Amino acid sequence: APGGLLGPAEIRDLAARLGIRPTKTLGQNFVHDGGTVRKIVRAAGVAPGDRVVEIGPGLGSLTLGLLDAGASVVAVEIDPPLAEQLPRTVAEVRPDLTDRLDVVGADALDVETLPGEPPVALVANLPYNVAVPVLLTFLERFDSLRTVLVMVQAEVADRLAAGPGSRTYGVPSAKAAWYASARRASTVGRSVFWPVPNVDSALVRMDRRDPPSTTATREQVFAVIDAAFAQRRKTLRSTLAGLAGSPAAAQAACEVAGVDPGLRGERLDVVQFARIAEALGDGAA
Ligand code: SAM
């Protein structure tokens, strides 16, 4: 395939040689389209010399694209045969790029440190079942990450990028907003994957920003977000009663925070959640 990227024939051949039968539980849908790989790399804005962390490199389609763009890549793969094969694939297809690749064979959710330079970008075609926890965990653990460009299920992309009041706004949107601004980029058709998934995909770009300035901790703010969305139809006065101690205390905390306690969580942005957490923490309630 052009540029040493993996096309349909290479993907099938690699999988057959390794005896790989893609599993649904690990979200294994491999990209076999060079155009999609280039689109992801371009949208990520990867520059030569950038240190990039990739979660779930699979058979290596995107890894090769990132290396080809001049990045140095640390790839975290849970499936041992795939993790073992990746350096060999790169050595076969692009022997000139092998010294810029590190592979970590692990569940991304368990990874607390990464080898080499701190990564400035996370670029991945994420395993769909763990996409949101992986994203939030990496943004939390690796301060060095400035940008994220991930391919996820289209519905998850909508959620991550949604703002207050939108139908898809929820816990992932509000928590992601603590770390970054998120924008849904292009939709990706199912035909670029093998095997073909039964959902559409989309790219999401996130750019790190400072968290809201507040005396509450991130854990306290996330606890307020979780509680506010636990019962979507109820108002803050009742959803926050557990955290505050009583509906009256929840109402008082909202008032101190300048938020109408008769609203539902879906109307609030992360700054307002942070103000409520702060009011609860100050014992205003
Ligand atoms: N990047 C490849 C591509 O675009 O062709 C593969 C993407 S595939 C959607 C997701 C990959 O993530 C698979 O290789 C799967 O084994 C791996 N994976 C699944 N869960 C994981 C986890 N918790 N930690 C690290 N890798 C994981």
Which residue, by CA, sits nearest to atom 20 of ligand 1?
Answer: 26
- The model's confidence at residue 232, banded by pLDDT at 50, 70 and 90, is confident
Which atom of ligand 1 is nearest the CA belonging to 58?
Answer: 14
What whole-number percentage of the chain has pLDDT above 70? 98
Which has more pLDDT, 19 or 122? 122
ipTM: 0.99
Which atom of ligand 1 is nearest the CA belonging to 30?
Answer: 5
Backbone φ and ψ of 185, nearest 5°: -105, -150
| Confidence at residue 123, expressed as pLDDT on a 0 to 100 scale | 98
Distance separating alpha carbons of residues 30 and 186, to the nearest angstrom? 18
> How many Cβ atoms sit within 10 Å of the Cβ of residue 262?
10
| Confidence at residue 231, expressed as pLDDT on a 0 to 100 scale | 92
Q: Ligand 1 center to residue 171 CA distance, Å?
A: 23
* Residue 31 assigned to a binding site: yes
Angle at 284 between CA 280 and CA 285, to 5 degrees: 70
Report the pocket of ligand 1 as residue ranges, CB < 6 Å. Answer: 26-31, 55-59, 61-62, 76-79, 82, 107-109, 125, 127, 130
* Residue 77 assigned to a binding site: yes
pLDDT, tens digit, 9 for 90 and up, residues 183-218: 999 999 999 999 999 999 999 999 999 999 999 999
DSSP element (H, E) containing 10: helix 8-18
CA 206 to chain centre: 9
Q: Ligand 1 center to residue 198 CA distance, Å?
A: 17
Q: Ligand 1 center to residue 33 CA distance, Å?
A: 16
What whole-number percentage of the chain has pLDDT above 90? 93
Distance separating alpha carbons of residues 47 and 50, to the nearest angstrom? 6
Backbone φ and ψ of 66, nearest 5°: -70, -45
* Residue 158 assigned to a binding site: no
* pLDDT of 2 over the 60 cut: no
Q: Looking at the whole model, is its pTM more than 0.80?
A: yes
* pLDDT of 6 over the 60 cut: yes
* Residue 93 assigned to a binding site: no
- The model's confidence at residue 45, banded by pLDDT at 50, 70 and 90, is very high
What's the mean pLDDT when you consider all of the chain? 95
* Residue 29 assigned to a binding site: yes
Are the beta carbons of 96 and 68 closer than 8 angstroms? Answer: no
Which atom of ligand 1 is nearest the CA belonging to 108?
Answer: 24
